[in-house]
């Protein structure tokens, strides 16, 4: 029996400030999978994530979540279904980490409702998952970049949305917390929930992702299972660098040398 995709992208195009950022991209995201969005800067990764969460209008095509068009869902319904963690999220006011994470429960609350004991438990669990529980009472304006990133991830987890859309989720994190976040994403998908993440580290994408959508100039250059999609041939075509696979299975990249340097 076929399962409805977590997200279905159908011929999606996006035009912003007169520029066409995405051109007719289509693809299904299987439920319970970890999907990597990979491509050069400016390829359209962040725009696609924003389109999948109804943060920006489409100039063509449609996005369906759990088989329902986003245009037919209210903002509250969308917020309960998908959570976007943008790369450039701003935290200007001195809310505590706990208060920031608790904002993830807003889609589940009535207009004048306060957090229940169950909501508090969900917030505490999300903070533990993102390793910010010890920072619960600290103002977010006093956090490092990596700590803010983890606090915002905890807010996303607190929504209990079945699909997470993450734009460079390991940005500003040290190596330990990068590994913790990557492990958390894999645990998340093991619970039949879905993660779509824009990633820069191609070897990480090959290792942890089930599928990869490879973007170039606003179009899918390739999409499919991670190791097949992130082949040396595809990566050379998209990134313009020579790629080989080492004995350990990791990708190796060779930058083309300028003629003047090569002749020295």
Place 197 in a pLDDT band, splitting at 50, 70 and 90.
Answer: very high
- In the block, tokens 């190596």 appear at 175
CATH number of 110's domain? 3.40.50.300
Shared domain for 264 and 205, answered yes or no, is no
Asked if 211 and 253 sit in the same domain, the reply is no
**168/149 Cα distance (integer angstroms):** 10
Binned at pLDDT 50, 70 and 90, residue 255 comes out as low
Same domain, 27 and 47: yes
Q: Is residue 2 part of a domain?
A: no
Domain membership flag for residue 61: yes
Mean pLDDT across the stretch 140-161? 92
Residues 131 and 181 in one domain: yes
32 membership: H or E segment, kind and range: none
The reply to whether 194 and 250 lie within a common domain is no
- pLDDT of residue 163 exceeding 60, the answer is yes
Q: Are residues 128 and 202 in the same domain?
A: yes
Residue 8 has pLDDT above 70, yes or no: yes
How confident is the model over 117-137, as pLDDT tens digits? 999 999 999 999 999 999 999
Question: Which residues are 243's β-sheet partners?
Answer: 253
Residues 187 and 212 in one domain: yes
Predicted local distance difference test score (pLDDT) of residue 262: 41
Based on the domain organization, do 219 and 118 belong to the same domain? yes
Based on the domain organization, do 197 and 250 belong to the same domain?
A: no
pTM above 0.85, yes or no: yes
Calculate what percentage of the chain has a pLDDT beyond 90.
72
pLDDT of residue 256: 63
CA 167 to CA 232: how far, in whole Å?
Answer: 24
Work out the angle at residue 230's Cα, subtended by the Cα atoms of residues 64 and 42, and round it to the nearest 5 degrees: 65
Q: Which domain holds residue 244?
A: 231-264
Determine, yes or no, domain membership for 207.
yes
- In this prediction, residues 177-182 reach a mean pLDDT of 90
Region 254-264: what's the mean pLDDT? Answer: 50
Q: Which pLDDT band, with edges at 50, 70 and 90, does 244 fall under?
A: confident
Report residue 196 as tokens.
Answer: 């779509």
Instruction: Identify whether residues 83 and 167 lie together within a single domain.
Output: yes
Mean pLDDT calculated for residue range 184-198: 91
Strand-strand pairing, 68-69 and 219-225 = unpaired
Q: Is residue 131 part of a domain?
A: yes
Least confident of 9-23, 118-132, 138-152: 138-152
DSSP string of 101-170, one letter each residue: HHGGGGGGS-TT----HHHHHHHHHHHHHTT-GGGTTSBGGGS-HHHHHHHHHHHHHHTT-SEEEEESTT
Does the residue 51 lie in any domain? yes
Q: Are residues 154 and 241 in the same domain?
A: no
* Residues 260, 216 share a domain: no
What is the share, in percent, of the chain residues with pLDDT greater than 70?
95
The total domain count for the chain is 2
In a domain, 31, yes or no: yes
Q: Is the pLDDT of residue 92 over 80?
A: no
- The pLDDT, as a whole number, for residue 259 is 43
The string of pLDDT tens digits covering residues 204-234 is: 999 999 999 999 999 999 999 999 999 999 9
Buried b (16+ CB within 10 A) or exposed e, 20-29: ebbbebebbb
**Gap between the Cα atoms of 53 and 83, Å rounded:** 7
Who wins on pLDDT, 82 or 240? 82
Residue located via tokens 């999220």: 89
Whether 237 is covered by a domain: the verdict is yes
Burial classification of residue 139, based on how many CB atoms lie within 10 Å of its CB (0-12 exposed, 13-18 middle, 19 or more buried): middle
> Sheet holding 68-69: strands in order across?
19-29, 7-16, 60-65, 68-69
CA distances from 113 to 64, 104, 107, 122 (A): 30, 14, 11, 16
- Could you tell me if residue 1 is inside a domain? no
- The per-residue DSSP string of 179-205 comes to HHHHHHHHHHHHTT-EEEEE-S-HHHH
Q: Is the pLDDT of residue 142 over 70?
A: yes
Which two three-digit tokens encode residue 108? 């589940």
Closest to 170 in 3D by CA, of 138, 208, 134, 118: 208
Tell me: the pLDDT tens digits for 29-87? 999 999 999 999 999 999 999 999 999 999 999 999 999 999 999 999 999 999 999 98
């Amino acid at each position: 029996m076929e399962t409805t995709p977590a997200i279905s992208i159908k011929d999606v195009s996006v035009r912003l400030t007169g520029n066409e950022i995405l051109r007719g991209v289509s693809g299904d995201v299987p439920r319970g999978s970890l999907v990597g969005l990979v491509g050069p800067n400016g390829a359209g990764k962040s725009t696609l994530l924003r389109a999948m969460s109804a943060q920006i209008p489409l100039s063509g095509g449609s996005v369906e979540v759990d088989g329902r068009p986003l245009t037919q869902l209210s903002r509250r319904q969308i917020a309960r279904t998908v959570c976007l963690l943008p790369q450039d999220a701003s935290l200007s006011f001195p809310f505590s980490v706990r208060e920031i994470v608790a904002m993830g429960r807003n889609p589940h609350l009535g207009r004048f409702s306060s957090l229940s004991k169950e909501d508090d438990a969900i917030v505490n669990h999300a903070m533990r998952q993102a390793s910010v529980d010890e920072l619960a009472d600290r103002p977010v304006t006093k956090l490092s970049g990596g700590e803010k990133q983890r606090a915002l991830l905890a807010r996303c987890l607190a929504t209990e949305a079945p699909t997470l859309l993450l734009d460079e989720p390991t940005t500003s994190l040290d190596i330990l917390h990068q590994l913790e976040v990557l492990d958390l994403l894999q645990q998340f998908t093991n619970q039949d929930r879905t993660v779509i993440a824009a990633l820069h580290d191609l070897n990480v994408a090959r290792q942890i992702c089930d599928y990869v959508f490879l973007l170039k100039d606003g179009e899918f250059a390739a999409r499919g299972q991670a190791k097949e999609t992130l082949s040396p041939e595809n990566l050379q075509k998209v990134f313009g660098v020579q790629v080989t696979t080492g004995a350990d299975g990791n990708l190796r990249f060779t930058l083309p040398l300028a003629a003047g340097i090569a002749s020295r």
